Structure 1
Amino acid sequence: MNSMNRAGRALLVATTLVALAAAVPALAAEPARSGPPLWELGGAVFGVSQQAYPGADEHLNRALVLPYFIYRGRVLRADRETAGLRAFKTERYELDVGVAGSFGGGDDEIKARQGMRELGTLVELGPRLKIRLGEGGGHAGSWRLDLPVRGVFDLNDSGRHRGMAFEPELLFQRQAKGGWRYSTGLSAIVADRRLAEHFYGVSALDARPGRAAYAAQSGLVAWRLSVSATRALGRDWRIFGFARLDSVAGAANEASPLVRQTTGSTVGLGLTYTWMRSEASAHD
């Protein structure tokens, strides 16, 4: 990862932790009968092999060791899915502020972008409506529809706004009898023209043989299928893994010269340790 200012590094730590937890829905789950604790303090170590961007034919490999802090208040929350505030929650609906993120890389790592501006580490932040669609008893699992709208910011460029993204996602979550918790999701990523240009636009100055100038357009960026799983290893340790498959088939910018293949994958594996936790239970 390229160098960034101190504020950018601090923000990256916080947002990466929340984004990681969002990718692994049961990461911070506590098996105590009274429910998860109000707060937890611990650390996480994980490695990720990420497709550079949807349509890229190269991967970015990252390994991180980070502290994490989780707080599950009634309104103020920083947990596996929420970053900041939960505006309201009913039996069926919930509105909160969600976060996601992706690592960036320079033209030395992404050959298709040689000579072009680097793709910075991006953080997505914005409101999200969650709709519970149904829940079975025991280990049957539950269905949910997420409707997030997020602003996208580039940590490698002083937090510059790169555009807006909308990613409706249908989720299925289940806790298996063997102690495993897992989730699967199917989503569509839609971007405005500004964000699409960041990924797929090629200016006249950046054009070269095999990479013609291209003006990106708003619309579908990719279809995404994701899976994740986590399991407690005793009281304080937890292992987790996640994978996703992105496809740009039928996407608005499938014709961009920066699109080198139709499908691509991202995988990650990690371990968390909870150092301290509160005696009080969380507010749900």
Structure 2
Amino acid sequence: MNQLLSKLCAFIFLFTLMISAYANQGGALSVDTTAGKPVWEVGVFAAAFRGPIYPAAADYQNKFLPVPFVIYRGEKIRIGDESLIKAIAVEKERFKLDVSLGAAFNADSDDSKIREGMPDLDFMFEIGPEASFLLQDNKVSETWLNLQARSVFSTDFSEVHHRGYVFQPEVSYKRENLLFNDSRFYFSVSPTFASAKTHQYFYDVEQQYVNAERSFYQSSGGYLGTKVSVANRFLVNKNLMVFVGTQLGFWQGAENSASDLFQEKITYAFALGVKWTMLQSSEHIN
């Protein structure tokens, strides 16, 4: 029973991290982000996703994810408000030091023709520091340079494996009310570089898995690919927010494009989510 409870807690934590990683793409502007908002909120976030099972894969999968959320907006610490945990003490007007998050769903290798008979891909999560520099700022938009370095892990909820490191510089643009009132539009370009251990998880073919369609292959570290993300979120009312986003992956020139598991030079991903606030504090941020 204790083991089952531990796995359930890990499952909820990982998916909460995933929601934070995805939802942060439509994040609020750093100017006046908390004024007028309740000190805490409790509710449910539900989202549907479609995307490739790993970078440069030809096979896609669909996922639906409902998870509870808790948001706390303290003077020094914020939880669930544009990031999993944020220390406000290190935030300045034109510079922020935050926690960078990333995540990916698991995949059954037997659902992929090229990976059939190989080990399944577990849930993946990434976490590490992020230094952000404000490049452009006015009343309705911001442009940021985000330098992100993350450690990569995979888990089947019984054990966790370290899968190397990624470095992901990103230029992001955010604008209020571009398409709708009470909305925030987001656009970003983020090239990704990863250690050999990270590439190996996606593209290695060990001798025991060699067949007519897969040759033996050992990956090396380097350029993984570039992601271009577009997202928009808007408020239906004070308790209901809708998020929609798409992401193109450009994998041309990737370090391990010679692997037979590297199949597509361009992939896409899509996400649609709803955030419903069920309870909130009567006290609001001034």
Cα distance in 1 for residues equivalent to 2:153 and 2:76: 25
Structure 1 residue 282, shift from structure 2 partner:
4.8
Cα distance in 2 for residues equivalent to 1:70 and 1:110: 38
- Secondary structure, in 3 states, of the residue corresponding to 1:35? coil
Per-residue CA deviations over 1:212-258 (Å, capped at 9, x if unaligned) read 11111101111110011011111111111010000110111111110
Tell me the equivalent position of 1:131: 133
| 1:152-191 matches, cutoff 5 A | 152-156=152-156, 158-176=159-177, 178-179=180-181, 180-191=183-194
Query: Relative to 1, partners in 2 of residues 1:199 and 1:75: Cα closer, same or farther, differing over 3 Å?
Result: farther
For structure 2, which runs of at least 5 residues remain unmatched after alignment? Answer: none
Structure 1 residue 41, shift from structure 2 partner:
1.0
Cα distance in 2 for residues equivalent to 1:279 and 1:121: 38
For structure 1, which runs of at least 5 residues remain unmatched after alignment? Answer: none
State the TM-score, normalizing by the size of structure 1: 0.90
Cα distance in 1 for residues equivalent to 2:173 and 2:209: 43
Per-residue CA deviations over 1:177-199 (Å, capped at 9, x if unaligned) read 63221100000111101011001
| 1:120-269 matches, cutoff 5 A | 120-137=122-139, 139=140, 141-156=141-156, 158-176=159-177, 178-179=180-181, 180-269=183-272
Tell me the equivalent position of 1:98: 100
- Secondary structure, in 3 states, of the residue corresponding to 1:113? coil
Moved more, 263-272 or 16-25: 16-25
Structure 1 residue 24, shift from structure 2 partner:
2.8
Query: Relative to 1, partners in 2 of residues 1:53 and 1:257: Cα closer, same or farther, differing over 3 Å?
Result: same
Structure 1 residue 165, shift from structure 2 partner:
1.0
**Contact preservation (8 Å) 1:8, 1:155:** no
Cα distance in 2 for residues equivalent to 1:54 and 1:18: 20
Q: 2:280 aligns with which of 274, 277, 282?
A: 277
**Contact preservation (8 Å) 1:8, 1:158:** no
Moved more, 95-104 or 213-222: 95-104
- Secondary structure, in 3 states, of the residue corresponding to 1:101? strand
Structure 1 residue 7, shift from structure 2 partner:
4.2
- Secondary structure, in 3 states, of the residue corresponding to 2:259? coil
Cα distance in 2 for residues equivalent to 1:131 and 1:23: 16
Instruction: Percent identity, please.
Output: 27
Per-residue CA deviations over 1:117-142 (Å, capped at 9, x if unaligned) read 111111111111111111123x3x11
Per-residue CA deviations over 1:79-132 (Å, capped at 9, x if unaligned) read 353222426111111112221211010112222211111111111111111111
Query: Relative to 1, partners in 2 of residues 1:142 and 1:14: Cα closer, same or farther, differing over 3 Å?
Result: same
| 1:79-94 matches, cutoff 5 A | 79-86=80-87, 88-94=90-96
Q: 2:113 aligns with which of 105, 111, 114?
A: 111
Q: Number of aligned residue pairs: give it.
A: 277
* AA at the equivalent of 1:25: G
* AA at the equivalent of 1:159: V
Cα distance in 2 for residues equivalent to 1:249 and 1:209: 25
Tell me the equivalent position of 1:8: 10
Indicate the RMSD between aligned Cα atoms, in angstroms.
2.4
Structure 1 residue 68, shift from structure 2 partner:
0.8
- Secondary structure, in 3 states, of the residue corresponding to 1:168? strand
Query: Relative to 1, partners in 2 of residues 1:146 and 1:35: Cα closer, same or farther, differing over 3 Å?
Result: farther
Tell me the equivalent position of 1:45: 46
**Contact preservation (8 Å) 2:26, 2:184:** no
